[in-house]
Amino acid sequence: MDGDDHDMLADSYRFCEQTRNRWFLVNSAPGDTLPPRLEELERLAVSLGTTARQLRDDYRRVTRRARRVFERLFYGRED
């Protein structure tokens, strides 16, 4: 794996792990996805210092990039 792919996957992992851990603290229960209800998403976003819309956009951007790397490395798929 080259350095760029490693950095992309590591950054994605850190973002998702931080978001998941914060959701546990805010919600007092585990969760592996963004909250579906807007009020819960807003509460999570505020705790992370952002907005609900920005958090959702960042999550989608980060996970899409990680998925592209994963699919290329493990399934040989190219964009």
Query: What pLDDT, in 10s, does the model give residues 40-73?
Result: 999 999 999 999 999 999 999 999 999 999 999 9
pLDDT at 78: 74
pLDDT at 49: 97
pLDDT at 9: 96
Query: What pLDDT, in 10s, does the model give residues 26-44?
Result: 998 888 899 999 999 999 9
Tokens 């976003």, located at residue: 45
Domains in the chain, number = 1
Spatial neighbors of 56 by CB under 8 A, at least 6 apart, are 34, 41
DSSP character string of 18-79: HHHHHHHHHHSS--SS--SSHHHHHHHHHHTTS-HHHHHHHHHHHHHHHHHHHHHHHH----
Read off φ and ψ for residue 31, nearest 5 degrees.
Answer: -165, 135
Tokens 């994605």, located at residue: 12
Structural domain that includes position 21: 3-75
